[in-house]
Structure 1
Amino acid sequence: MTPSPRSAVPDWRARRLDHLRSLIRAAAPEATEEAKWKKPTNPAGVPTWSDHGILCTGETYKDKIKLTFAQGARLPDPHQLFNASLDGGTRRAIDLKEQDPLDEDAFQDLIRAAVAYNRGA
């Protein structure tokens, strides 16, 4: 059986990304997911969630998962989930290493805020 692009990395990163995917689906059921930016070094591409524009991407690195929010600088982050790409004028990211905790409710609030921003609400 050939692994799906979602499980191309069969370790903690794939499991964590699948869990994040389920949180995103629950928070933004109308969002679509597609693989973007496919290249020889990453044939599966980068999971990208969109709803009236890109919400976030989920990149897999050797030591972390990076969730980059396209309009992160414009989103409320009262729980301070953003911990990477903080100097940019538009994007913000959440880097998660294997044992890093994640406030799932706050993460889903951030996803909903991204949807609302993209929809102009």
Structure 2
Amino acid sequence: MEMQSTEDSKSPSQQIDEKIEELGDWRGQMLSKVRNLIKQVDPDVVEEWKWRGTPVWSHDGMICTGETYKNAVKMTFAKGASLDDPTHIFNSSLDGNTRRAIDFHEGDEVNEEALKKLISAAIALNKSSHKKSR
């Protein structure tokens, strides 16, 4: 099996690594932090690279995405509207019926415990939906 040096031959994890490095500022650090928290909660999480450059984390379905913008790193939970958010960590996309997001801005502190609970809840929701559909 010969390796091609095209974008397509890189694993999603390598592409996410490159994205973090490419950003080279607080957004890269924030994306890296969010990614590490997801992996702490779920070491078996599947990393994907979709929509021409968006990191996506999945387990029995999409958990969340990690989009980067000029002034924010947006973590969008695919089924966020169905998740319990007692600490009100969701601060974006609050009007939709399905998704919810967290916008992190430069200098923001991450409530790691609350975020880990949301990630766990998203995985549990995916697993329960996954079982029902089988």
> Could you tell me the TM-score, scaled by structure 1's length?
0.89
Could you tell me which amino acid in structure 2 is paired with residue 88 of structure 1? G
Query: Percent identity between the aligned chains?
Result: 49
**2:66 is aligned with 1:20:** no
Name the residue aligned to 2:128: 120
Give CA-to-partner distance per residue, 1:64-116, whole Å, 9 cap, x none.
Answer: 10000000000011111000000000000000001112210110000000000
Q: State yes or no: 1:35 paired with 2:43.
A: no
Runs of at least 5 residues in structure 1 that lack an aligned partner in the other structure: 39-44
Higher RCO, Cα 8 Å, sep 6+: 1
Aligned residues: 113
Aligned counterparts of 1:114 and 1:57: Cα–Cα separation in 2: 12
1:65 partnered with 2:73: yes
Distance 1:75 1:12 in 2: 28
Q: What SS does the aligned partner of 1:79 have?
A: coil
1:74 to 2:82 alignment: yes
| Within-5 A mapping of 1:37-52 | 37-38=51-52, 45-52=53-60
Q: Secondary structure at the match of 2:89?
A: coil
Q: Which aligned segments of 4 or more residues in structure 1 are displaced greater than 3 angstroms?
A: none
> Structure 2: where are the runs of 5+ without partners?
1-16, 130-134
Higher helix share: 2
RMSD: 1.3
Task: Give the Cα–Cα distance (whole angstroms) in 2 for the partners of residues 5 and 63 of structure 1.
Answer: 16
TM-score (norm 2): 0.81
Which of 1 and 2 has greater Rg? Answer: 2
Aligned equivalents of 2:121, 2:33: Cα separation in 1: 19
